[in-house]
Amino acid sequence: MPKIVETGSKIWENRHLTFTEEIDNLYDMWNSADDDVLTSYTRMSEAIQGQIGEVIGQGITLRALGGGWTWSRIATCHKGRMYNTKGLNLRFSLGSSLVDDAYTDTNQDLIFVQCGVSIHELNLYLKRKGRSLKTSGASNGQTIVGAMSTGTHGSAFGFGAIQEFVVGLHIITGPDPQVPEHNVYIERASHRVTKPVFAEKLKAKYILNDDLFNAAVVSFGSFGFIHGVLLETEPLYLLECYRQRETSPALRPMLETLDFANASFLPHGSEIPHHFQITFNPHDMANGAYVTTMYKRAYTDQYSPPDTTSGFGPGDDAPAFIGLVSDAIPASVPMIVNNVVKASYKTFHNVVGTRGEIFGDTELRGKLISTAMGMPMEEVNRVLNLMLELNGDNRFGPFAGVYALRFVKSTAATLGFTHFAPQTCVLELDCVWSQRMLKFIEEAWRRLDEAGIPYTFHWGKQCGLNNDRMIKGYGQERIDGWKKARRELLQPAVRNAFNNQQIDAWGLCHDGLPETLLT
């Protein structure tokens, strides 16, 4: 039988060591070992329902735990139960008989994975099958559901964030196996992929509903226990990668249009890259920005994978090294940042690898802060100027880190933070952790508010969200739609079990509407 083992832990600390949470207990979850994959999976579904029943009976809360990568407390529940899902790593392909006749791709494009499968595991598994993920973040230690649920975005601006390749959600929504609404499988009605028989195999109720799907796909653990997800993959490909210093006056205007027609300074000129990221060292602007571009190429085994013996890979972003900076003596910060960036953030030319090889295992160094804000791309230069001015303000600067810009196609997820169309610019501020830098970050948020610039927060990073910023970033219609979907999917007692202090502070727990049940 599946095992859910009480560890006795009463304190949980996130991977980045930026906070601790007092909890009721931490549980490790393990699938049964002697069953076929589907039987093992459905038995775990029943075991999860049992845990939900216990939590409701005790009047406490619960949260499913992924890789522990979040900087915010969104993945925790104060004095509640936390469930380590990393042992839940089943995956299986779908037979053609399970795929809807109207689906335009084939069953070879689909894979169903359990919630605890890590991005690293997926990359290895898919490569053996000649397949690849369509995008990912810079770190691959996250679990698939953790990365999806917080809107992890990557930089595939022609495609979007991780949730965009998720096409099915299997969610445990209550404690009773005899109640169909307590175990559901959801797809978009506008993008139907499987036949109802697939949900039957999961012992789940089959639902086609765009609003429910779009709300639940980025819901940070608040829509029930997401046990498994159906993913669309693509044939294995290579990424041809470059990082260069660039002082071209054409760069900054291009950031507001993403028009590569006059981008002769890039390695392949006007060819639109798959991945486009700009990193600014605010203490060394005269020597130009670091421009990282990656181009998709057809797969061949005639290539040499990237050399990562230095401890850094071509896909690593600033959190891989910026914790090495110290801001103990503010006057020395510019020199220290310059030295660390020069030593750790190397330029490179024509490095080739699969997605899993380019975005490898991120090794964390030191304690750091990372916050990321999504905003309309036409605001990018105004925002960058604000951040450079803040760096020069002696009350808050100098900034003990770097600024990075990524561009991502807008998402259909109701509370996806990359919802600005057609492209969302994601500004990341990565720096060493200190009280002084926390004040810098808070001032950055305040200045964006003061300038009237609409922005959202990456749900899994350092977050200054409050109810007012929620409304300005998403609009009341999106917020009401998300809460309505949650009320339709979860009965009151279950909804309370999946509340936590963060969504309560953001005004997402209650909406005053009549109680409804999914029909």
Judged against a pLDDT cut of 80, whether residue 320 lies above it is answered with: no
Q: Are 414 and 478 in contact (CB under 8 A)?
A: yes
**Which pLDDT score, from 0 to 100, does residue 158 have?**
86
Written as six digits, the tokens of 217 are: 């796909």
Q: Where in the chain is the domain with CATH 3.30.465.10?
A: 3-235
- What does 60-123 look like in DSSP terms, one character per residue? --EEEE-SS--SSGGG--TTSEEEE-TT---EEE--GGGB-TT-SS-GGGEEEEETT-BHHHHH
* Tokens encoding 10: 């009463």
CATH topology for 248-464? Alpha-Beta Plaits (3.30.70)
Among 77-86, 320-329, 343-352, 430-439, where is mean pLDDT lowest? Answer: 320-329
pLDDT band, residue 311 (cuts 50/70/90):
low
Question: Residues 298-310: what's their mean pLDDT?
Answer: 88
If you average pLDDT over every residue of the chain, what do you get?
92
How many Cα atoms are found within 13 Å in the side-chain-facing hemisphere of 328?
Answer: 4
Q: Render pLDDT for 228-251 as a digit per residue (tens, 0 to 9).
A: 999 999 999 999 999 999 999 999
| pLDDT tens by residue, 19-52 | 899 999 999 999 998 779 999 999 999 999 999 9
Q: Which contiguous run of DSSP H or E holds residue 466?
A: none
| DSSP helix, strand, coil percent of the chain (3-state; round to 5) | 35, 25, 45
CB 207 within 8 A of CB 107: no
Q: What is the pLDDT of residues 449-493, one digit of tens each?
A: 999 999 999 998 888 998 899 999 999 999 999 999 999 999 999
The dihedral over CA atoms of 430, 366, 67, 133, expressed in degrees to the nearest 10, equals 50
> Tell me: the pLDDT tens digits for 133-180?
999 887 777 899 999 999 888 778 788 999 999 999 999 999 999 999
User: How far apart, in whole angstroms, are the C-alpha atoms of residue 71 and residue 55?
Assistant: 25
In the chain, % of residues over pLDDT 70: 97
- The DSSP bridge partners found for residue 246 are 289
Tell me the pLDDT tens digit for each residue of 364-398: 667 888 899 999 999 999 999 999 999 999 999 99
Q: What tokens appear for 308 in the block?
A: 């990562």
Q: Are 76 and 209 in contact (CB under 8 A)?
A: no
DSSP state of 164: G
Q: What's the CA gap between 142 and 36, in Å, rounded? A: 26
| Domain boundaries for CATH 3.30.70.2520 within the chain | 248-464
> What is the per-residue pLDDT across 440-449, written as a single tens digit (0 to 9) for each?
999 999 999 9
Number of C-beta neighbours around residue 262 at 10 A:
13
Here the tokens at position 348 are 């490179």
Helices (H), 209-281: 210-216, 251-254
> Is the pLDDT confidence value at 319 over 70?
yes
Asked if CATH classification 3.30.465.10 holds for the domain at 3-235, the reply, yes or no, is yes
Rg (CA), the chain: 23
Rounded CA gap, 124 and 89, in Å? 13
User: What pLDDT sits at residue 325?
Assistant: 86
Closest to 480 (Cα-Cα) out of 215, 86, 251? 215
Mean pLDDT of 172-201: 97
pLDDT at 517 over 60: no
| pLDDT beyond 60 at 302 | yes
**What values do phi and psi take at 474, rounded to 5?**
-120, -25
Q: How far is CA 213 from the centre of its chain?
A: 17
The confidence score (pLDDT) of residue 144 equals 95
- pLDDT at residue number 245: 97
**Angstrom distance (rounded) from CA 18 to CA 14:** 7
Q: In three state form, how does the secondary structure of 419-477 look?
A: CCCCEEEEEEEEEECCHHHHHHHHHHHHHHHHCCCCCEECCCCCCCCCHHHHHHHHCHH
